[in-house]
Amino acid sequence: MAHKISSDYSEEEWGNWKWHVSHTIKDLATVEKLLGVKFSVEKRRSLEDTIRNFPMSITPYYFSLIDPKNFENDPVFIQSVPSAAELNFSCHDKEDPLAEDVDSPAPGITHRYPDRVLFHVSNRCAMYCRHCTRKRKVGDVDKTLSRDDLVKGLEYIKNTPQVRDVLLSGGDPLLLSDSMLEWLLSELKAIPHVQVIRIGTRVPVVLPQRITPHLVKIIKKYHPVWVNTHFNHPREITATSIRALRLLADAGIPLGNQTVLLAKVNDCPRVMKALVHKLVENRVRPYYLYQCDPAQGLSHFRTSIGKGIEIIENLIGHTSGFAVPTYVIDAPNGGGKIPIMPNYLISQSSSKVILRNYEGIITAYYQPEDYHPPKCGQDCSACNLELDLNGAAEGSLVGIARLLSNHEDTDYLVPTECDRMDRRKSGYDQIVTLGTSLIQHGKNSDRIYLMRLAAEETATLLPEMQSLAAENGYTKLFAKVPGDVKTLFEADGFETEAVIPCFYGGTKAGYFMGKFIDEGRKTEENAELLEDVLKVAHSKAGKALSFKLPRGYTLRKCTADDTAAMAEVFSTVFASYPFPIYEPEYISRTMTESITYYGIWHGQKLAALASAEQYPLEGHVELTDFATLPDYRRRKLAGILLHTMETEMKQKGFGVSYTSAVAESYGMNISFARQGYEFAGRLKNNTQINGGLKSMNIWYKCLKKQTK
Ligand SMILES: *Cc1c(COP(=O)(O)O)cnc(C)c1O
């Protein structure tokens, strides 16, 4: 075979790795010649297309492992000779599936995990694996990197003290020259915080001649150096590769193996078991079994995840523990390696766990009844385990480990995309006191709202509100005030937007006044619609519908046990809201204050709810937070809630019940009109609700007999 590759070949060259590198097979004609076949014109054309996109390069040694009599099914052939299927990209395939280029803080470095980095130190490979996850780069720049190229990566490692493990990768790091490799290892070894160096290489598989006594002598000077190689099939473990592995192991280099699960190569429990047995026989510990990455050009290599689980099921328990690799999916977009296993934990109670073993035997393991885990807080100096942590970093915990820990108070993790959390961050109103007056403000509704005025503070309050607005750039001030201070507010630029004649104690008028800092905010873009809503509402005035609950429905006050269901309904109904009513904790807090919630259930399901917000000092109650799930609309549930709440509040002695209804929506305005509520006026562009700044209609009903 070697003579067919090179006419001036001499016997001793087979053992020289440089000969193999300079005689890699890169064209189809040589493949045909060596296999003694002729591809059809079509096949040739499609393969040449493939090679133009993804080049071919096979060492003579690796090619010599192909069985020419059955090459189409040969695992070595499939891994090294292109297939037209490489050009079938599926829509989920990516160029850089593991986001290695994105997670790269310095040239050649991928820093994904807290304490270790991947360092791409070579862009050469002896053989171009058809299943390469870095296929995008294969053959791109077929030159070794210079020392200058690597210095920036080394600098990054030097300047990043948390990096204790450096994984040399590539390309293949062992295609660097001995002197270059020695320089690199010595530079890394000189960095005090680098405790371990790892080399990831396929050289023992595709170019075992590279493992020379001289190379091994260099590596062992910089211990601890771990080597991970990449055998995928037992056929790759040959006398020559065994010799290479022996050299490495005899030099005290711990050896691991990373296999990629590949369709038609090793997607078989028996092949995999033979592989791991041959590996451990040669002092190589199976480390990872990778699910094939979704890189472009690899779809024909990919198996189901079930195949991988089946393989692990056939290994665990069936063979030596150290012969079983960890099956991992390298999560797309840089999520890192995620281990996958068959399930062995079947069930558990507080005293037992139920497990099954590889034979199918199901057993109970009794947990200790008197186990007291250490409750250490974060105070390691008080630790009674007397661990000598030897300066171990007390870095903050990440992920589930953080949730599990007793000394971190994090109790949830939130995805970056979470509408509910975004709404929270968008800034709910804060409530502050100025003197004894109560003010609410926030960028959400972009305004200041004077909720409760201590009348004697009016003179100082007005300028304070003004400057608070200026500080935050708010465009509106809004106040609910009694008649006797109305003129002071008018003098300050406020205008009346709504009036309720019986607002205080059922007798005194209350003025809803607005001051527009930005005049533009006064313009209502949907004025016509707002007028129509009012017209329709007025046309139904007093025409109350039946207050009878439909069959199968029940109405009652909500309790703290209902808050999760309530938050769910609010989340469904409101795209945004001035208060965090999406949070059960917020709802239960308001329950202990002055808000009573009423709900209507359909069977076990909360279908609609609303609240009565009570102001005993002022003698008024606001009926608000009306929310009905979409499936339960048109059943008059809001009207029934309104009637019930009003009746109860009247009994409690409140002088007036009122509401503010989103002015553009027919439903609530009509409900209040039907129920005999009077229109008090409209607050222009007043409240952030349902995804925008909305005008609100004020409706009220005096609950006490008016005496003139
Ligand atoms: C695989 C990998 C590592 C090493 O992971 P281990 O689980 O420690 O072997 C480090 N960095 C990156 C980017 C990797 O993909």
pLDDT score for 634: 85
pLDDT-above-90 percentage for the chain = 69
Query: For this structure, is 625 an active site residue?
Result: no
Query: For this structure, is 115 an active site residue?
Result: no
Candidates 602, 557, 591; CA nearest to 581 is 591
Which of 339, 372, 403 lies at the terminal end of a domain, its last residue? 339
Query: For this structure, is 18 an active site residue?
Result: no
Among protein residues, the one with the nearest Cα to ligand 1's atom 12 is: 118
Handedness of CA 252, 168, 60, 41 (dihedral sign): positive
Instruction: Give the CATH number, domain containing residue 656.
Output: 3.40.630.30
The closest-lying atom of ligand 1 relative to the alpha carbon of residue 112 is: 13
Among protein residues, the one with the nearest Cα to ligand 1's atom 8 is: 116
β pairing state of 476-482 and 508-516:
antiparallel
CA separation for the pair 641, 553 (Å, rounded): 12
Q: Give the model confidence (pLDDT) of 493-525 as tens digits.
A: 999 999 999 999 888 999 999 999 999 999 999
Q: Give the model confidence (pLDDT) of 467-476 as tens digits.
A: 999 988 999 9
Cα three-residue angle 27-30-32, rounded to 5 degrees: 110
In contact, 320 and 329? CB cutoff 8 Å = no
Which of 471, 499, 520 lies at the terminal end of a domain, its last residue? 520
Candidates 268, 250, 230; CA nearest to 62 is 230
Which of 316, 339, 362 lies at the terminal end of a domain, its last residue? 339
Residue 628 reports pLDDT greater than 90: yes
- Bond prior to 510 in cis (omega within 30° of 0): no
Residue 123 reports pLDDT greater than 80: yes
Query: For this structure, is 337 an active site residue?
Result: yes
Same domain, 661 and 610: yes
How far, in Å, is the centroid of ligand 1 from the Cα of 708? Answer: 83
Query: For this structure, is 292 an active site residue?
Result: no
Alpha helices in 493-559 (DSSP H): 527-539
Among protein residues, the one with the nearest Cα to ligand 1's atom 7 is: 337
CA separation for the pair 470, 707 (Å, rounded): 43
Protein residues whose CB sits closer than 6 Å to any atom of ligand 1:
110, 112-113, 116, 118, 167, 337
The helix or strand, by DSSP H or E, that contains position 503, with its residue range, turns out to be strand 495-504
Same domain, 276 and 290: yes
pLDDT category of residue 324 using cuts at 50, 70 and 90: very high
**Would 453 be classed as within a structural domain?**
yes
Q: Which of the following is catalytic: 116, 130, 198, 684?
A: 116
pLDDT-above-70 percentage for the chain = 94
Q: Give the model confidence (pLDDT) of 93-121 as tens digits.
A: 877 777 777 778 888 899 999 899 999 99
Beta strands per DSSP E along 349-436: 352-356, 362-366, 430-434
Q: Give the model confidence (pLDDT) of 372-402 as tens digits.
A: 877 666 566 666 665 655 555 555 677 887 7
In contact, 78 and 130? CB cutoff 8 Å = yes
Same domain, 582 and 693: yes
Q: Kindly report which listed range (513-517, 613-617, 690-694) carries the lowest average pLDDT score.
A: 690-694
**Would 392 be classed as within a structural domain?**
no
In contact, 55 and 139? CB cutoff 8 Å = yes
Q: Which of the following is catalytic: 61, 96, 128, 134?
A: 134
Same domain, 464 and 318: no
pLDDT score for 389: 58
Candidates 140, 167, 270, 255; CA nearest to 205 is 255
Name, in order, each residue with C-beta under 8 angstroms of 57's C-beta and a sequence gap of 6 or more: 24, 25, 26, 125, 126, 127, 128, 139
Among protein residues, the one with the nearest Cα to ligand 1's atom 6 is: 337
Quote the DSSP letter at residue 628.
Answer: E
The closest-lying atom of ligand 1 relative to the alpha carbon of residue 328 is: 7
Among protein residues, the one with the nearest Cα to ligand 1's atom 1 is: 337
**Would 311 be classed as within a structural domain?**
yes
Q: Note the pTM of the prediction, 2 decimals.
A: 0.63
**Would 214 be classed as within a structural domain?**
yes
Same domain, 324 and 469: no
Whole-angstrom CA distances from 250 to 195, 222, 602, 633 are 21, 15, 75, 77
Same domain, 163 and 188: yes
Name the residue with higher pLDDT: 492 or 432: 492
Same domain, 504 and 530: no
Instruction: Give the CATH number, domain containing residue 207.
Output: 3.20.20.70
CA separation for the pair 453, 77 (Å, rounded): 85
The closest-lying atom of ligand 1 relative to the alpha carbon of residue 116 is: 10
Task: Sort 499 into a burial class: Cβ within 10 Å, 0-12 / 13-18 / 19+.
Answer: middle
How far, in Å, is the centroid of ligand 1 from the Cα of 98? Answer: 11
In contact, 637 and 680? CB cutoff 8 Å = no
Of 103, 118, 230, best ligand 1 pocket probe by most atoms within 8 Å of the beta carbon: 118
Query: For this structure, is 268 an active site residue?
Result: no
Give the number of domains in the chain. 3
DSSP string, 288-316: EEEPPP-BTT-GGG---HHHHHHHHHTTB
In a 13 Å sphere around the CA of 295, the CA atoms on its Cβ side amount to 23
Of 113, 194, 285, best ligand 1 pocket probe by most atoms within 8 Å of the beta carbon: 113
The helix or strand, by DSSP H or E, that contains position 698, with its residue range, turns out to be strand 692-702
How far, in Å, is the centroid of ligand 1 from the Cα of 118? Answer: 7
Tokens of 383: 């630790």
Same domain, 294 and 320: yes
Same domain, 200 and 304: yes
**Would 414 be classed as within a structural domain?**
no
Same domain, 498 and 568: no
The closest-lying atom of ligand 1 relative to the alpha carbon of residue 330 is: 15
Q: Which of the following is catalytic: 330, 429, 446, 625?
A: 330
**Would 190 be classed as within a structural domain?**
yes
Number of continuous H segments (helices) and E segments (strands) in the chain: 22, 25
Same domain, 164 and 299: yes
Handedness of CA 302, 306, 307, 308 (dihedral sign): positive
Task: Measure CA 200 to chain center.
Answer: 29
Among protein residues, the one with the nearest Cα to ligand 1's atom 3 is: 118
CA separation for the pair 668, 666 (Å, rounded): 6
How far, in Å, is the centroid of ligand 1 from the Cα of 287? Answer: 12
Tokens of 428: 């709910």
Among protein residues, the one with the nearest Cα to ligand 1's atom 14 is: 118
Beta-bridged to residue 660, according to DSSP, are 698
How far, in Å, is the centroid of ligand 1 from the Cα of 208? Answer: 24
How far, in Å, is the centroid of ligand 1 from the Cα of 153? Answer: 17
Tokens of 375: 């409750």
The closest-lying atom of ligand 1 relative to the alpha carbon of residue 288 is: 9
**Would 408 be classed as within a structural domain?**
no
Task: Measure CA 101 to chain center.
Answer: 19
Same domain, 233 and 335: yes
**Would 665 be classed as within a structural domain?**
yes
Query: For this structure, is 112 an active site residue?
Result: yes
What single-letter amino acid sits at 634?
R
How far, in Å, is the centroid of ligand 1 from the Cα of 196? Answer: 13
User: 281: domain range?
Assistant: 87-339
